[in-house]
Amino acid sequence: MLGRTISHYHITSQLGEGGMGVVYEAEDTNLGRHVALKFLTPAMAGDEGLLQRFQREARAASSLNHPNICTIHGIEQFESEHFIVMELLDGESLADRIRRSPLDIESVLTLGVQIMDALESAHSKGIVHRDLKPQNIFVTSRGQAKILDFGLAKIDKMDRLALGNKADSELPTAVRPKDLTEAGSTLGTVSYMSPEQARGQITDARTDLFSFGTVLYQMATGSLPFQGETSAVVFESILNRDPMPVNQVNPSLPPELSRIIGQALEKDRDLRYQSATDLKTALKRLKRDLDSGRHAADSSGIRARAASTLQDHSVAVLYFENLSGMKEDEYLRDGITEDITTELSKIKELKTFSRAMVLAYRDKSVTAGQVGKELGASYVLVGSLRRAGTRLRINAQLVDAATDFPLWSERYDREMKDVFEVQDEIAEKIAAALRITLSPQEQQALSAKPTEDLQAYDLYLRGRNYARQVGRQDLQFALQMYENAVALDPDFALAHAGLANVCAEYYYHFERQQQWIDRAIAATQKASAKGHDAPEIQCAEAWVMFADGRYGEAVDKIRMALRRNPDHDGGYYLLGRALFAAGRYQEVVDIMEEALAHSGEN
């Protein structure tokens, strides 16, 4: 191949070779510039499946225009040769850089933020890389990260036509035995796979965040978090074992980096960072604190602040244990637990903790004393839930965090239609156990039902669960759930608010068409007509204003919602985004401490 001229590209040298392609440096004789050409190996050029994968890489990457993603100039064919024309990079792969020694903390954070910025851009277009590893990340001579090789990219179904990709992107991700020895067929490199890839499940953007957590771990320590002599051992480690914290492998690293990497490597993707934006923000915050000298050796400052403000009547509601054993019931478990927190927040003398603050304890074995100490809670509500047909069994227990002694407990065995009464009764019994006298207004607020239709409530909880994922497909599912909920109960204000929220977010993240804003406005009008000024409705209205570019109005509206409920899920996130978009940067800084106190690192 060296010395040949393919079309108008004169090949001068070979740059590298991977599992399915060979990369050469070439001179573009038409434009007088040097480029990189990536060819399928001759052995694979006749394989239709590999050719489609090769073309998918070009289409996926060429749709992205970002300084930290290698630019694709085109995909071309000359006689029987298929090749991708890419920008020529000067530097080395991240794998070669790590091979010499672990990176210093400044380089880890700088490159990490750049890589996350690139993934944020790709994910916003519905493209998931699925094979992120140091070999696919290039570091230029100027210290700039560049993501390469979108050959395994999963393209969201809604984006495939736009990218001209008619091939199925819903590829299975499990590695078959022959994949471990057959060149070019492994769908993702074993050591960097997410648990959902290892299980062969459908992947979303969070799979890239797990893979990046593995890369970040290796950048900081020089070693892999999941190791083994065989791929089977590595799989078992990815699925079942926690890696050694990075600050134990490399004691010079700040504990906060260990926490960030630990959350990125959560095996349950619902407990992982939910977006590249969230992970990028965590890295930027750590970099800022280190640069300013503000970051203490102990990174538990948020929890320490919480503990120092412990209140007599503060209750942390932990996610109930799902005893049904069915994964599909977790949305119900989460929804009922969160709605119990909402009911308790209606009692003025009680302090509750936001979903973001307690999420880290979900499905974890922790004591009330441990949670109380870390969050600053006087009491902890724990429990379990089992759905059997139309019956719902709930066990709830209020525990004194100082003594681990149960203050109140109750078992409920009711019909599903009684779920609202159970939530209200739990709130009232906790108030009584803490000797809090409810005012008539609080009693009225507790007795109010969001809907009389149990099926509509079930659909609402499903929609809320999907909406939190923020992926294109997740928002589409959420939209269906909310639409079905309001069809069953047109007076269901919270479902109308959820519908408005989803339409506004879909417009903002994926499809800038006026119909989404119009639908969102219509839904907020219905919600406010039915539900007056509930914080959920005000937050939905703020999302519509933000998505429509009315940042000042969005700030005012979300602040109204936060005055009503400072722990409203996603409230401070939206406030920060709106302030930043409005150019009110000092106000973003001003709300930081307050936001952290109510929302933790989320």
Q: What b-and-e string marks burial along 333-366, b requiring 16 or more CB atoms within 10 Å of the CB? A: bbbbbbbbbbbbbbbeebbbbbbbbbbbbbeeee
Q: Is 177 helix (H, G, I), strand (E, B) or coil?
A: helix
Bridge partner list, 84: 38, 75
Asked if 337 contacts 380 with a C-beta cutoff of 8 angstroms, the reply is no
Q: Tell which residue, 365, 262, 387, has the closest CA to residue 318.
A: 365
HSE-CB at 217 with a 13 A cutoff on CA atoms is 28
> 464 to each of 457, 461, 475, 526, 527, how far by Cα in Å?
10, 5, 10, 18, 16
* 399 phi and psi angles, rounded to 5 deg: -115, 135
DSSP 179: G
Asked if 387 contacts 328 with a C-beta cutoff of 8 angstroms, the reply is no
329 is catalytic: no
DSSP 376: T
Query: In the sheet where 137-140 sits, what is the strand order?
Result: 91-93, 137-140, 145-147
CA distance 532 to 134: 52
Active-site option among 117, 131, 334, 489: 131
How would you classify the pairing of strands 314-317 and 351-352? parallel
Asked if 498 contacts 478 with a C-beta cutoff of 8 angstroms, the reply is yes
CA distance 461 to 151: 37
How would you classify the pairing of strands 321-322 and 154-155? unpaired
Q: Which residue has the tokens 């870390």?
A: 374
Active-site annotation, residues = 131
